[in-house]
Amino acid sequence: MMPAKQSTGGVPMKKVYAISIMLSLILAAGCATGPLQMNRAMVMPAQIAAGDNATIMVTFKGPKDQVASVHAVVRENPDITYDLNDNGENGDQMANDNIWSYVTQVPYEATPGTYHLDITAKDQDGKKVAGESVQSMSDGIVTVEVTVR
């Protein structure tokens, strides 16, 4: 019994694979060379109790190694700041993946309510990184809300 032939519309399978690989490389290169953008910012969990840990996370699209810093400030208490990292430490799962993170414990004395975390990212040239479609983008600042119960 002969193996069934796969139909490729008359195009040899080797050529189909080669075209698929080339398209994948072109798409990957396009993503890597596009403009650097913040595409998501969050605090997990978004509702948290005083004393629990929260993860602040910002993801980026575009060229790797172009983000120089990511800084977050609690608007209601500007003395509380966080420097997120992409080095695989302090809550960051994997180094150099364009996902900047920080794990912090919500202070036990935190008053229940909604808080605003204002996040700013800068590129290697010191310019603020624009957002793709992130929350409350204003002058390069992304705002994420977190509720303390």
**Is 39 or 49 the better-scoring residue by pLDDT?**
49
pTM of the entire predicted model? 0.73
Confidence of residue 53 (pLDDT cuts 50, 70, 90): very high
Closest to 119 measured CA to CA, from 141, 98, 104: 141
Residue 147: phi and psi, rounded to 5, are -110, 125
Closest to 130 measured CA to CA, from 19, 41, 16, 45: 41
Within a domain: 81 = yes
Within a domain: 85 = yes
Structure-token match 């993503």, residue found: 31
Within a domain: 76 = yes
What CATH number should be reported for the domain holding residue 72? 2.60.40.10
Give the amino acid at 30: G
Strands 67-74 and 113-123 turn out to be antiparallel
Within a domain: 16 = no
pLDDT the model gives residue 102: 97
Q: What is the pLDDT of residues 4-46, one digit of tens each?
A: 444 444 545 555 544 545 444 444 444 455 788 888 999 999 9
Within a domain: 132 = yes
Within a domain: 11 = no
Within a domain: 2 = no
C-alpha–C-alpha distance, residues 121 and 104, integer Å: 19
Closest to 140 measured CA to CA, from 149, 132, 125, 129: 129
Cβ neighbours of 116 (radius 10 Å): 13
Give the residue numbers spanning the domain of 50: 37-148
**Residue 67, pLDDT above cutoff 80:** yes
Give the amino acid at 115: Y
Within a domain: 135 = yes
Q: What is the pLDDT of residues 77-109, one digit of tens each?
A: 999 999 999 999 988 999 999 899 999 999 999
Tally of structural domains, the chain: 1
pLDDT the model gives residue 65: 87
Q: What is the pLDDT of residues 119-147, one digit of tens each?
A: 999 999 999 998 765 555 567 788 999 99
